[in-house]
A and B are shown apart, each in its own frame.
Chain A
Amino acid sequence: MYKTWTLYKREMGEYFNSPIAYIVIVLFLALAGTWGLSKIFNVEPARADMRPLFELMPMFLVVIAPALSMRLLAEEKSTGTMELLVTMPVADWQVIFTKFFAAFSVLFLMVVFTLPFAFTIAKMGDLDWGVTLGSYAGLLLMGACYISIGLMTSSWFKSQVVAFIVAGTICLVFWGLGNEEFTKLLPQTAAAVTQQVFGLDYHFKNFAKGIIDLRDIIYYSSITTCCLVLAGQSVQSRKWR
């Protein structure tokens, strides 16, 4: 446990001792605040509802989560510290999970920092906290998926940029397949199946309404587990390739 904690601290230090975390968080807050709040404040009649913000945040995560996770393993590979890391007395899965939780912690902080928006709205109206917290839960689960996808692609490449582009593309495809705008070209049944199987955004809809559905939790957990295992296998592949 101590080793994992040390690794976790090291990863968090990587984020907060460099400008990465600050840039990403500030960018996210400024974008979400500018677009989301203007959609809440500048409409008539204005509603005490965070939904406009939660419609935008998953879109931002498509870019921000890969940006947070692109360096996790790719940097270790390119600087040659990967060998050092895997020869340390920690299991590969511990390395993967620690890196995942570090990136997820930054994402968690980033999402939590949008809570003042909710407090402002609650001060000026009767905000449904159940729906709001449900949406936050959904957003974090979705964010975990995107981070795990980023970690998986980061394990495939030495270049952070390539890892970012590939992860961003995968996230965008997963997000798009859950969106009706993109699946409307498909036949109705095919569109419905595609949305349910691949649509990360589709499974967020229930959370945004205030329904926590076991099916959605299973879906997000499956995608996250799957990507983390693939990342682990990719790291482990040095033993047999």
Chain B
Amino acid sequence: MANESTRFKIGVNSILFTVLLVVSLALINVFGAYARCQLDVTEDELYTLSSASTKIVKESKSEIKVRVFVSRKLVTGLDEVRQYLIDTLDRYKEASRGKFKWELIHPEDSKAKEKLAKEYGIRKTTYQTKQTGSKEARELYFGLAITYKAPGADKEEMEIIPNLGWNIQKNLEYLLTERFYRLVRGRKKVAIITGHNVVPPKAMDQLIKMLGQFFKAYEIVQYNIRGSKPPPADTQVMIVLSPKTPWNEADRKKLNSFVMKGKGVLFMVEGMALQKQNKQMQMRKMPPIMMPHNHGLNDLLWTWGVKIAGNFVMDLGQKPLLIRQGKKSRIIFHPALLNIRYSRRLKAPVTPFLASSLDVKAEFVSKKLKPGQRFRVTPILLSSPKSWTVKGPYMFNPQRRDQPPEGATRARYVVAAMVEGKLPSAVKGTKPTESKANARLVVVGDFDLLKLSGAVPGNRIFLQNMVDWLAQDEVLVKLRNKQMQERELDLPSSKTKRYLIQLANIFGLPILLVLFGIIWWQLRLARRRSAQREIGERR
């Protein structure tokens, strides 16, 4: 009887313990759901607000307000995207110390809310679920409006994203922070220097339109350096594009005085240029000839440690380039098309075309400023070790796959470099003799890089990063890189090699494991046999 009661007690205890444990574990999970404790282990901290985002919301002088318009009923999968949006906005709020507020509005709840959405230009869009095999689609609201009223301003400034889309998990932080910058800090001016027949006026208008789309945080203006007016006072960055006619002393003086103010200049200048063909050459359909080109900038640039050589770089060590034009895409390969995979300093896969190499004064090249050094030069784009240079006159034939001539120096050539520091005045006898603040320059021996930026996303990112760095907004460079870095796999071009790598990975370790198993088994057998023998001998 006593046994029975003990067993009953143990049984009850066991059941009670189990039930209590399950309940407490459930409670821990329920309460744990409220605790947001996350560790972002991604290399680029993709799920943590970057310093650019925290800085702009923290330092904002007025309140930044975000209104998210979202339907209650979403298509399957979109609720996860909405949750990501909510979490991100909460992170901004936490970082802002009360200067950032956001609210969630369901427009279908009332007519007033629907009217508000309409006022901001946010309308219903059809969303289709991304689930395979499902055709679930629904018209719904999923947009947001950002408003900001600067202190002393008459009206509110606003930025609208009418349709956030499915892919915001890739670039939401960039989408938001870039807009906050525009609203809070205003648009910095970027001037493109004209006056040297860089491109025909119509093409220049198109170029400015294209740049305006790339640089939404900046105001793109033209500045005629041959005119009598000085550059607009609030210009932060100047862009010098390959001039057709050489710069003269007066032009150089104007640019020098801009640099002396501690501002930024981007040079995209080629050392070789296509020569105009005469009628006879055109009749014979001869390929264009390239000749070294006098742009009149080298004296200026050499003072700052860089010079554009009168050549262009050919490279056989590059991968073919995939160019997307609308829905079509094509693969092209030419040694003059430098498909540089990665710019270390301004992370972007860049593709210069017919780019000149740069001569760099070794004494200024360093990663960090040495003691006593006033400025430094850092190469940022380099061709592969299979490169050589071509000097003019050179008949350029895009159909021909050039090979290096005998005796050509195969080396890595610098195609772009950045200069930073207290730059000396490049015009003798002028004051100040040194830039007031740290000035920044980027010299790229190529102009086609910019022309190709519409079709090559890497070039566009590189261009944006260069301008951000020159405008001392490198926080935006970091943010853009964080969102847009594409981690491509450099697979061997030979299919056989690719299969061999795959097979070695799939079967290499299993074969080793089986071999280990067989050896282990044989060892055990041997041990057993010797033990049996020993026992037999003892008997």
Residues of A within 8 A of B (CB): 16-17, 19, 22, 25-26, 29-30, 33-34, 37-38, 40-41, 45-49, 113, 116-117, 120-121, 124-131, 133-134, 180-181, 184, 188, 191-192, 196, 206, 209-215, 218-219, 222, 225-226, 229-230, 233, 236-237, 239-241
Q: Which residues 1-52 of B have a CB within 8 angstroms of A?
A: 7-8, 10-11, 14, 17-18, 21-22, 25-26, 28-29, 32-33, 35, 37-44, 46-47
Rounded to whole angstroms, the CA-CA distance of A161 and B41 in the bound complex is 40
Rounded to whole angstroms, the CA-CA distance of A241 and B77 in the bound complex is 48
Tell me if B73 is interfacial: C-beta within 8 Å of chain A.
Answer: yes
Q: Given A212-B39, A229-B17, output 8 extra A-B contacts at Cβ < 8 Å.
A: A22-B513, A30-B510, A37-B506, A46-B489, A48-B489, A222-B26, A236-B14, A240-B10
Tell me if B76 is interfacial: C-beta within 8 Å of chain A.
Answer: yes
Rounded to whole angstroms, the CA-CA distance of A26 and B516 in the bound complex is 12
Partner of B28, one of A45, A126, A222: A222
B85 to chain A: closest CB distance in Å? 15
- Residues A38 and B489 in contact in the complex (CB < 8 Å), given A116-B509, A130-B42, A210-B46: no
B20 to chain A: closest CB distance in Å? 10
- Contact A125 B488, beta carbon cutoff 8 Å: yes
- Residues A47 and B505 in contact in the complex (CB < 8 Å), given A26-B514, A192-B79: no
Chain A residues near B520: list those with CB within 8 A. Answer: 16-17
Partner of A47, one of B26, B43, B487: B487
Tell me if B131 is interfacial: C-beta within 8 Å of chain A.
Answer: yes
- Residues A22 and B514 in contact in the complex (CB < 8 Å), given A46-B491, A113-B509, A210-B41: yes
Chain B residues near A214: list those with CB within 8 A. Answer: 32, 35, 37-38
B92 to chain A: closest CB distance in Å? 18
Number of interface residues of B (CB under 8 A): 55
- Contact A29 B506, beta carbon cutoff 8 Å: yes
Partner of B488, one of A37, A45, A113, A209: A45
Tell me if B98 is interfacial: C-beta within 8 Å of chain A.
Answer: no
Rounded to whole angstroms, the CA-CA distance of A184 and B40 in the bound complex is 29
A227 to chain B: closest CB distance in Å? 11
A124 to chain B: closest CB distance in Å? 5
Partner of A219, one of B29, B77, B514: B29
Tell me if B186 is interfacial: C-beta within 8 Å of chain A.
Answer: no
Can you list 8 residue pairs at the A/B interface with Cβ under 8 Å? A17-B524, A33-B505, A41-B501, A196-B33, A209-B47, A218-B29, A226-B22, A239-B7
Residues of B within 8 A of A (CB): 7-8, 10-11, 14, 17-18, 21-22, 25-26, 28-29, 32-33, 35, 37-44, 46-47, 73-74, 76-77, 79, 131-132, 134, 322, 486-491, 498, 501-502, 505-510, 513-514, 517, 520, 524
Rounded to whole angstroms, the CA-CA distance of A81 and B491 in the bound complex is 54
- Contact A180 B76, beta carbon cutoff 8 Å: yes
Partner of B10, one of A126, A130, A239: A239
Rounded to whole angstroms, the CA-CA distance of A226 and B498 in the bound complex is 46
Rounded to whole angstroms, the CA-CA distance of A188 and B487 in the bound complex is 35
- Contact B41 A218, beta carbon cutoff 8 Å: no
Rounded to whole angstroms, the CA-CA distance of A239 and B7 in the bound complex is 6
- Contact A120 B505, beta carbon cutoff 8 Å: yes
- Residues A215 and B35 in contact in the complex (CB < 8 Å), given A30-B507, A33-B505, A37-B502: yes
A74 to chain B: closest CB distance in Å? 21
Residue of B nearest to A192 (CB): B79
Partner of A188, one of B47, B73, B489, B509: B73
- Residues A130 and B37 in contact in the complex (CB < 8 Å), given A226-B25, A233-B18, A236-B14: no
- Contact B513 A25, beta carbon cutoff 8 Å: yes
Chain A residues near B7: list those with CB within 8 A. Answer: 239-241
Residue of B nearest to A119 (CB): B505
Rounded to whole angstroms, the CA-CA distance of A164 and B361 in the bound complex is 72
- Contact A116 B505, beta carbon cutoff 8 Å: yes
Rounded to whole angstroms, the CA-CA distance of A7 and B313 in the bound complex is 68
Rounded to whole angstroms, the CA-CA distance of A213 and B132 in the bound complex is 28
- Contact B41 A124, beta carbon cutoff 8 Å: no
- Contact A210 B40, beta carbon cutoff 8 Å: yes
Partner of A230, one of B18, B38, B44, B322: B18
In the A-B complex, list the 5 residue pairs whose CB atoms are closest, starting with the nearest: A33-B506, A240-B11, A210-B42, A46-B489, A130-B41
Partner of A26, one of B73, B132, B513: B513
Chain B residues near A218: list those with CB within 8 A. Answer: 28-29, 32
- Residues A215 and B489 in contact in the complex (CB < 8 Å), given A26-B514, A116-B508, A184-B76: no
- Contact B490 A125, beta carbon cutoff 8 Å: yes
Chain B residues near A117: list those with CB within 8 A. Answer: 505
Partner of B502, one of A41, A127, A211: A41
Partner of B21, one of A26, A184, A229, A236: A229
Chain A residues near B322: list those with CB within 8 A. Answer: 45
B48 to chain A: closest CB distance in Å? 10
B532 to chain A: closest CB distance in Å? 17
Rounded to whole angstroms, the CA-CA distance of A219 and B46 in the bound complex is 24
Partner of A225, one of B25, B487, B490: B25
B102 to chain A: closest CB distance in Å? 21
Residue of A nearest to B10 (CB): A240
Chain B residues near A126: list those with CB within 8 A. Answer: 487-488
Rounded to whole angstroms, the CA-CA distance of A176 and B74 in the bound complex is 22
Rounded to whole angstroms, the CA-CA distance of A123 and B377 in the bound complex is 30
